Amino acid sequence: MVIKIKILFSLIVLCSQHLIAGGLDNSTAFGTRTFTLGGLYFAGSPGLGSINSNPAGLNYLTGKAAELAIISKNEENNFESTSRGVFKSFRNENYSIGGGFYWRMNNGITIGAAYFPVADYRSDWPFVVLRSTDTSSAVLPFSMKNDLQIFSISPSVAFQLGEFSLGISANIYRITQQISFPLNNKDWGQNTGLAAYQFNYSLDGWAFGVTTGLQFDFNEDLRIGLTVKSGMNSKIKGDAESRIFSDLDSTASKTNASTKIPIPWEFGVGLLYKINDNTFINFDAGYSVWSANNGNLSITYDNAGWNNRASIADSLPGFSANSIPIGSKNTIDLGIGVEHISDGGLIYRAGYRFSQSSNTSASYGFLFPIVDQNFFTIGLGYKDENLTIDAGIAYTFSFTTKVGIDENKFLFGEYSADGYIPSLTLRYNF
């Protein structure tokens, strides 16, 4: 047992030491077992991860347990343009923590509750503005970032009906978003104000949704899973701040602002097949409906002066301050995973996931540079009578996306991303 724990500890340390970085994907697989088996796992029963992926999976668990999961996203976005040069986002360590409990009350019903990240999207770029006229010049550093986090508080219940397991989770979403970007001052050539100004937004809100799922044992070797997660456009509100209005228009530098964040409808189907008593393989597909939004985060302000000046499109960020482009294309996710339980008690896992970006050519930019991605994952687990430890790591890289000037006149060029994502889950059975 000492050797097994040392192997697990070595993998965890390896994950922690190699990873340094910045946000790339906007969806999160809760729980290391789901994460290392392709990130979807709709027909499986990974533990509390079932509450997020398919709550019907709770009914395949036994006893009662508490669970804690940690994931760290360490990724870099890249943008290269013939007109702007080469940009690389900061590599920051972005940790998310979730946890909760489940209880198999009897042979027909299991309850659970969890707090976990649904989306943890962060993009942060070093950004400097150089402007000059015949008589003056200015070099100004700015913040260009987007930090969108959605966490869910989800009570859940699953019922066993013959060969069918049915589950439902109520999702209470807490949404926070921090946005920063600069805008040019068109009056700067007349020696009025600064060459450009920083805009900062701090917004938050609540939303509510439901996840429903079904799992069916087709035979003793094959299980099928289906799941649906409701979507909506959720209002978030807070403060917007910039000195441009007080310097140029003698109006307030801070005002209330609001917008609506799209949460997509999600549909999933999965197969779990037992190759032998110790080896399992899963195939999964997900479809997300983003097209219900209009392709923009439309921001409104309480101050009329802000609404007037914010409507002008600006070449620095590639949009106006009242309409930020966002992806609106429906997407497909595909996953495959293999799990082998060794005679010595260690559990080996590997998986692959393809995740399609919701961006159209017009919505690519510094705040939402999300591209199609590949995730290759490996994992190692250990389980005794009470304690389960699962560790895993993913290497992610994207397909380079080329955006033409006729499709995006301000931010045309090539977008790509890569990174590493470690994950650790601890479960204790009472």
Instruction: Set out the domains of the chain in order of their start, with CATH numbers.
Output: 2-119+153-169+210-234+263-300+317-429 (2.40.160.60)
Residue found under tokens 């807490």: 174
Residue 14 clears pLDDT 60, i.e. is over it: no
Tell which residue, 224, 268, 350, has the closest CA to residue 52.
268
Q: pLDDT tens, 84-112? A: 899 999 988 888 899 999 999 987 899 99
Residue 17 clears pLDDT 70, i.e. is over it: no
- How confident is the model at residue 3, as a pLDDT? 37
Residue 233 clears pLDDT 70, i.e. is over it: yes
- How confident is the model at residue 35, as a pLDDT? 92
- How confident is the model at residue 133, as a pLDDT? 79
- How confident is the model at residue 421, as a pLDDT? 93
Indicate yes or no: pTM above 0.75. Answer: yes
- How confident is the model at residue 120, as a pLDDT? 86
- How confident is the model at residue 163, as a pLDDT? 87
Confidence of residue 27 (pLDDT cuts 50, 70, 90): low
What average pLDDT is seen over the chain? 89
Average pLDDT over residues 188-201: 88
Residue 10 clears pLDDT 50, i.e. is over it: no
Average pLDDT over residues 223-229: 97
Q: By the 8 A CB rule, do 416 and 374 touch?
A: no
Q: Where are the beta strands (DSSP E) in 107-136?
A: 109-132
- How confident is the model at residue 134, as a pLDDT? 77
> Is beta strand 64-81 parallel, antiparallel or unpaired with respect to 373-383?
unpaired
What end-to-end distance do the CA atoms of the chain give, in Å?
Answer: 21
Residue 67 clears pLDDT 90, i.e. is over it: yes
Average pLDDT over residues 63-76: 93
Average pLDDT over residues 265-279: 97
| DSSP assignment of 198-262 | EEEEEEEEEEEEEEEEEEEEEETTEEEEEEEE--EEEEEEEEEE-THHHHHSSS-SEEEEEEEEE
Position with higher pLDDT, 345 vs 306: 306
- How confident is the model at residue 4, as a pLDDT? 39
- Tell me how many degrees the CA angle 152-157-163 measures, rounded to the nearest 5: 130
- How confident is the model at residue 2, as a pLDDT? 37
Q: 380-416: buried (b, 16+ CB within 10 Å) or exposed (e) per residue?
A: bbbeeeeebbbbbbbebbbeebebeeeebebbbbbbb
Q: How far apart are CA 116 and CA 154, in angstroms?
A: 8
Lowest mean pLDDT among 257-261, 287-291, 392-396, 418-422: 287-291
Residue 5 clears pLDDT 60, i.e. is over it: no
> Six-digit token pair at 203?
């917004």
Confidence of residue 131 (pLDDT cuts 50, 70, 90): confident
Residue 332 clears pLDDT 60, i.e. is over it: yes
Average pLDDT over residues 335-352: 94
> Six-digit token pair at 220?
């003793």
- How confident is the model at residue 89, as a pLDDT? 95
- How confident is the model at residue 144, as a pLDDT? 95
Task: Look at residue 401 and give its three-state secondary structure.
Answer: strand
- How confident is the model at residue 226, as a pLDDT? 98
- How confident is the model at residue 410, as a pLDDT? 93
Confidence of residue 177 (pLDDT cuts 50, 70, 90): very high
